[in-house]
């Protein structure tokens, strides 16, 4: 049926309505050429790159790890503050345990002399502390840590932390390490299989310490838990030695009072 004259018929979709503006597509813009950025590997980055590459190439490493209840470690830290009026960081306390552990498992305080095909077991514990500085990753060393009291070790570590902001370490502070402690938990990381700081034989990693459900005396409780990861040179020792060391450190963290009696 033809619609009344007062009602206009619908126009076909392909025919524009009278007086309708024609849409004009904007002119295409020329494509912007993207350029890759080349960043020279120089300075500290070059040194780190060379050392880590050497480590990966020469060291047949293995990794073990375990979760540890660190609740009592924080209790001990707070008790030390109350008893002495002095602050002890968790890192400093764990460093104390590491030094004691290396005296118990001295093979982990070693390096491999590839020329003579000998394991060189070091008499001194020169404890390296991986530090993220404004200049990049650095590993300043606490020399002679085996002869230090807990207070002396704490003060040495505090000095390293203070210098880490700008990375102004003298060359002597960055050489001679025999074992490295890496607290990557400060970066919000739970765990990591770190690369051994060549020519050392092992590195201990500390993850972040967070509250987790934990079974205590057959009951579920909320505890502060940390993951420890141990990377070691399999040329120097077998898994039993590394596991013994890691278990020893875990025991110190879970029951720190006896280890910290002598400050």
Q: CA 126, CA 110: separation in Å to the nearest integer?
A: 11
Residue 233 among the catalytic residues: no
Single out the residue of 180, 170, 187, 162 nearest to residue 51, CA to CA.
Answer: 180
Q: Exactly one of 113, 166, 234, 262 is catalytic; name it.
A: 234
Is 184 within 8 Å of 163 (Cβ atoms)?
no
- Give phi and psi for 129, each to the nearest 5: -125, 110
Phi-psi region of 118 (alpha: psi -120 to 50; beta: other; left: phi over 0): beta
Q: With CA atoms as reference, report the closest residue to 130 among 161, 152, 100, 102.
A: 161
* DSSP codes of every residue in 91-124: HHHHHHHHHHHHHHSGGGSEEEETTTTEEEE-SS
Cα 122 to Cα 150: distance, rounded to the nearest angstrom: 21
Spell out the SS3 assignment of 220-261. EEEEEEEEEEEEEECCCCCHHHHHHHHHHHHHHHHCCCCCCC
Beta pairing partners, 66: 228
In the annotation, is 198 catalytic? no
How many C-alpha atoms does 30 have within 13 Å on its Cβ side?
A: 3
The residue whose two tokens read 């002597």 is 172
Give the active site residues: 234, 238
């Amino acid at each position: 049926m033809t619609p009344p004259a007062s009602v206009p018929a619908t126009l076909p979709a392909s025919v524009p309505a009278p007086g309708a503006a024609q849409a004009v597509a904007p002119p295409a813009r020329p494509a912007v050429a993207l350029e890759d950025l080349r960043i020279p590997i120089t300075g500290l980055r070059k040194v780190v790159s060379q050392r880590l590459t050497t480590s990966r190439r020469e060291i047949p490493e293995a990794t073990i790890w375990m979760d540890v209840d660190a609740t009592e470690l924080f209790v001990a830290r707070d008790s030390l503050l109350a008893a002495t009026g002095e602050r002890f960081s968790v890192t400093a306390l764990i460093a104390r345990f590491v030094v004691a552990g290396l005296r118990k498992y001295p093979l982990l305080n070693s390096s491999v002399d590839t020329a003579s095909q000998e394991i060189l077991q070091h008499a001194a514990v020169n404890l390296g502390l991986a530090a993220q500085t404004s200049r990049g990753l650095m590993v300043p060393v606490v020399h002679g840590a085996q002869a230090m009291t807990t207070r002396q070790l704490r003060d040495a570590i505090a000095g390293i932390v203070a210098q880490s902001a700008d990375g102004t370490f003298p060359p002597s502070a960055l050489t001679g390490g025999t074992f490295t402690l890496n607290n990557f938990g400060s970066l919000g990381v739970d765990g990591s299989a770190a690369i051994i700081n060549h020519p050392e034989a092992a590195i201990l990693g500390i993850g972040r310490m967070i509250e987790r459900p934990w079974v205590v005396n057959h009951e579920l409780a909320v505890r502060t838990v940390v993951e420890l990861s141990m990377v070691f040179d399999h040329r120097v020792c077998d898994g039993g030695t590394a596991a013994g060391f890691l278990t020893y450190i875990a025991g110190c963290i879970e029951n720190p009072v006896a280890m910290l009696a002598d400050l």
